[in-house]
């Protein structure tokens, strides 16, 4: 701090006690401390050449030996981000599993669904339960229908 005060005094002709010598009152001392605290910011990391290619941050070491904890390394930050993404995906999957069909005309896919009223009919049904009720058409094993392509297509429909 003394080196900063020396810099302010020499380079900027500024000091906390402008034009006064001797004892300083409490009010002046408080004003000086507030002005001093406003004039700088303590940092733990600093970027020396922010506009240059390959610029990186360096950790600031204080002369009085105290340590400020550096921010976590990039791997730790990435692990935290990955954990958040995983938790979000699990919560979304759980929500989808618990979701049921709800009657909502604004959310209907098309006018045909509105006209038929499927949303009201299926209100409260879980989509997975609905999928289990639907089966894919099976190919007919009967030899007499195997030859007739039209009959086969009709049975599929």
Residues 53 and 78 in one domain: no
Residue 120's pLDDT is what?
Answer: 77
Residues 78 and 37 in one domain: no
Residue 84's pLDDT is what?
Answer: 93
* Tally of structural domains, the chain: 2
Residue 121's pLDDT is what?
Answer: 78
Residue 48's pLDDT is what?
Answer: 75
Residue 89's pLDDT is what?
Answer: 95
Between 134 and 67, where is the model more confident? 134
Residues 81 and 130 in one domain: yes
pLDDT confidence of 153, banded at 50, 70, 90? confident
Highest mean pLDDT among 14-18, 42-46, 118-122, 135-139: 118-122
Residues 17 and 45 in one domain: yes
pLDDT confidence of 2, banded at 50, 70, 90? confident
Residues 78 and 121 in one domain: yes
Question: What is the average per-residue pLDDT within 30-53?
Answer: 75
Q: Which long-range contacts (CB under 8 A, 24 or more apart) does 123-128 make?
A: 124/100, 125/100, 125/101, 126/99, 126/100, 126/101, 127/99, 127/100, 127/101, 128/97
Q: Is residue 12 part of a domain?
A: yes
Residues 55 and 93 in one domain: no
Residue 83's pLDDT is what?
Answer: 92
Please determine, for residue 25, whether its predicted confidence score (pLDDT) is greater than 60: yes
Residue whose token pair is 């990186």? 56
Range of the domain at 89: 74-135
Residues 88 and 52 in one domain: no
């Amino acid at each position: 701090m003394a080196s900063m005060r020396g810099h302010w005094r020499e380079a900027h002709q500024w000091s906390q006690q402008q034009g006064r010598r001797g004892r300083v009152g409490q009010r002046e001392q408080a004003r000086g401390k507030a002005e001093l605290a406003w004039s700088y910011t303590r940092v733990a990391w600093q970027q020396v050449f922010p506009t240059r290619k390959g610029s990186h941050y360096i950790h600031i070491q204080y002369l009085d030996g105290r340590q400020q904890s550096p921010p976590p390394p990039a791997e730790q930050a990435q692990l935290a981000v990955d954990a958040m993404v995983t938790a979000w995906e699990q919560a979304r999957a759980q929500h989808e599993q618990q979701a049921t069909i709800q009657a909502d005309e604004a959310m209907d896919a098309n006018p045909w669904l509105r006209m038929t009223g499927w949303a009201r009919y299926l209100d409260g049904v879980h989509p997975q339960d609905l999928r289990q009720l639907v089966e894919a058409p099976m190919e007919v094993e009967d030899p007499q229908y195997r030859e007739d392509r039209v009959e086969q297509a009709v049975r599929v429909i």
